[in-house]
């Protein structure tokens, strides 16, 4: 992309963003673009918003499943340190007394990280917690607490009773339990809580002071909330053992620094272990085999799978992307080494979980235009 092209690209994104928010009361949206080291950040809020403030680069949002590419970066760092191998069966790292079916015990770390393990989306216990919330019958832990209620004992029980939806390595299903298991295994390998591990391996080296789960009082003051129809702030999601796969919060500043570090990693074949890990995470590790049919009859993924990252086919080669969704937040992060472009999107809106089919394709379209 030439310097001349950036202005019409930004104008197009601005028009799309304003149209998107025009029918979403109290919604906010941020788009950050890094082109050959130069940042362009645009902030929006719904016209007539009375409660949602205009966000800035230090405003904190939930980033949902964008957390997964941080998780797989931590994995690649630990792999580079010799603490774990992508071909290790998961039983090697889980507690010795945990009795798993042979087909579950033999799932590899690589298969967890590429959603090719054969595990379904969530475990049976986790699904029961979700169903209880939908029926309004969950215990009195507050609202939307299924991730918080679900702990490592539930995870172990779900793994011990899991049934594969297809033969391991022979298909693809986006697996929350698979990525949650991976995050827990990294905690066991490093013998420390995941948030501490993430801070030590990724956030501190990159200066990401606002990418975390636990917020200080000052950070809580910078949190962006969605607002319901009565003008009340919508609750955040909280996590226990499943935190690594979807529980992080972050800012535009931190996420742009993260995608720019990935761009730097892609520009060099050596460098510190962290940059080498970022490069390894964005390699093609899995593609859906010919003839595979999705278990729920949904469309096959239109990407190849790295470690967490999704590889989108571009004329110059693969560009890497991952979306994120929670109840009231949407996010996305993309990296194209050849175009030297990174894109970050952050959004708050009261119906984000049902709105992702609108904004996620729009994010990818912005990324496609930026990478041309």
Q: Is the pLDDT of residue 40 over 60?
A: yes
Q: Is the pLDDT of residue 287 over 70?
A: yes
Give the total number of structural domains in the chain.
1
Calpha distance 186→86 (Å, rounded): 12
Calpha distance 82→113 (Å, rounded): 17
Calpha distance 30→283 (Å, rounded): 28
Residue 160 token pair = 């011990």
Using DSSP bridges, classify how beta strands 249-250 and 304-305 pair: parallel, antiparallel or unpaired.
Answer: unpaired
Calpha distance 73→120 (Å, rounded): 23
Torsion sign, CA atoms 209, 215, 220, 224: positive
What is the mean pLDDT of the segment spanning 165-178?
Answer: 96
Q: Is the pLDDT of residue 79 over 90?
A: yes
pLDDT value for 269: 77
Confidence class of residue 143 from pLDDT cuts 50, 70 and 90?
Answer: low
**What Rg do the C-alpha atoms of the chain give, in angstroms?**
20
Q: Is the pLDDT of residue 35 over 60?
A: yes
Could you tell me where the DSSP H helices lie in the chain? Answer: 3-21, 67-80, 102-105, 109-113, 124-135, 146-149, 152-160, 176-190, 194-198, 204-206, 217-221, 243-246, 252-267, 273-281, 352-371
Calpha distance 163→120 (Å, rounded): 8
64 in Cβ contact with 326 (< 8 Å): yes
Confidence class of residue 321 from pLDDT cuts 50, 70 and 90?
Answer: very high
Tally DSSP H helices, then E strands, for the chain.
15, 9
What is the mean pLDDT of the segment spanning 99-128?
Answer: 97
What is the mean pLDDT of the segment spanning 150-176?
Answer: 97
* Domain harbouring 229, CATH code: 3.40.710.10
pLDDT value for 141: 52
What is the mean pLDDT of the segment spanning 93-104?
Answer: 96
Calpha distance 29→329 (Å, rounded): 10
What is the mean pLDDT of the segment spanning 95-122?
Answer: 97
pLDDT value for 317: 85
What is the mean pLDDT of the segment spanning 170-183?
Answer: 97
pTM tops 0.85: yes
Q: Is the pLDDT of residue 232 over 70?
A: yes
CA distances from 307 to 61, 72, 222, 233 (A): 24, 6, 31, 35
State which residues form the domain around 64. Answer: 3-371
Residue 42 token pair = 């645009």
Residue 370 token pair = 């930026």
Q: pLDDT tens digit string along 9-18?
A: 999 999 999 9
Q: Is the pLDDT of residue 132 over 90?
A: no
The dihedrals phi and psi of 193, each to the nearest 5 degrees, come to -60, 150
35 in Cβ contact with 336 (< 8 Å): no
Residue for token pair 């030297």: 340
Calpha distance 108→181 (Å, rounded): 11
- Give the 3-state secondary structure of residue 202: helix
Q: Is the pLDDT of residue 139 over 70?
A: no
Helix, strand, coil share (%) of the chain residues, nearest 5: 40, 15, 40
Least Cα distance to 44 among 79, 67, 20 occurs for 20
Q: Is the pLDDT of residue 28 over 60?
A: yes
How many whole angstroms from its chain centre is CA 214? 17
Per cent of the chain over pLDDT 90 is 85
pLDDT value for 354: 85
Question: Which residues are registered as beta bridge partners of 310?
Answer: 305, 321
pLDDT value for 297: 81
Calpha distance 187→354 (Å, rounded): 32
Least Cα distance to 17 among 367, 240, 300, 347 occurs for 347
What is the mean pLDDT of the segment spanning 294-306?
Answer: 90
Q: Across the chain, what does the average pLDDT equal? A: 94
Which range, of 56-70, 150-164, 198-212, 268-282, averages the lowest pLDDT? 268-282
pLDDT value for 138: 58
pLDDT value for 159: 98
Per cent of the chain over pLDDT 70 is 97
Residue for token pair 């992508």: 86
Q: pLDDT tens digit string along 246-269?
A: 999 999 999 999 999 999 998 877
Q: pLDDT tens digit string along 332-365?
A: 999 999 999 999 999 999 988 888 999 999 999 9
More confident residue, 135 or 157: 157
Using DSSP bridges, classify how beta strands 310-314 and 304-305 pair: parallel, antiparallel or unpaired.
Answer: antiparallel
């Amino acid at each position: 992309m030439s310097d001349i092209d950036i202005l019409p690209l930004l104008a197009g994104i601005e028009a799309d963003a304003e149209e998107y928010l025009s029918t979403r009361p109290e919604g906010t949206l941020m788009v950050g673009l890094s082109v050959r080291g130069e940042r362009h950040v645009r902030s929006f809020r719904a016209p007539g918003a009375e409660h949602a403030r205009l966000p800035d680069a230090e405003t904190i949002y939930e980033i949902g499943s964008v957390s997964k590419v941080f998780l797989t970066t931590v994995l690649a760092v630990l792999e580079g340190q010799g603490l774990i191998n992508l071909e290790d069966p998961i039983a090697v790292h889980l507690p010795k007394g945990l009795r798993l079916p042979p087909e579950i015990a033999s799932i590899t770390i690589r298969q967890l990280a590429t959603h090719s393990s054969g595990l379904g989306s969530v475990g049976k216990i986790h699904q029961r917690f979700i169903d209880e919330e939908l029926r309004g019958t969950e215990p009195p832990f507050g609202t939307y607490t299924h991730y918080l209620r679900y702990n490592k004992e539930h995870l172990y029980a779900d793994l011990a009773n899991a049934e594969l939806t297809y033969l391991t390595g022979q298909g693809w299903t986006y697996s929350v339990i698979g990525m949650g298991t991976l995050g827990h295994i990294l905690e066991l390998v490093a013998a420390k809580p995941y948030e501490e591990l993430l801070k030590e391996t990724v956030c501190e080296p990159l200066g990401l002071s606002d990418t975390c789960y636990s917020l200080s009082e000052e950070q809580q003051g910078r949190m962006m909330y969605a607002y319901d129809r009565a003008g009340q702030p919508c609750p955040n999601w909280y996590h226990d053992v499943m935190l690594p796969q979807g529980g992080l919060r972050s800012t535009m500043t931190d996420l742009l620094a993260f995608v720019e570090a990935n761009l730097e990693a892609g520009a060099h074949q050596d460098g510190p272990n962290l940059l080498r890990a970022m490069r390894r995470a964005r390699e093609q590790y899995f593609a859906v085999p010919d003839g595979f049919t999705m278990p729920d009859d949904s469309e096959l993924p239109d990407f190849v799978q790295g470690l967490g990252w999704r590889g989108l086919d571009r004329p110059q080669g693969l560009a890497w992307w991952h979306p994120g969704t929670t109840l009231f937040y949407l996010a996305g992060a993309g990296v194209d080494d050849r175009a030297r472009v990174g894109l970050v999107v952050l959004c708050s809106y009261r119906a984000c979980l049902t709105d992702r089919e609108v904004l996620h394709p729009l994010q990818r379209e912005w990324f496609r235009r930026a990478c041309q």
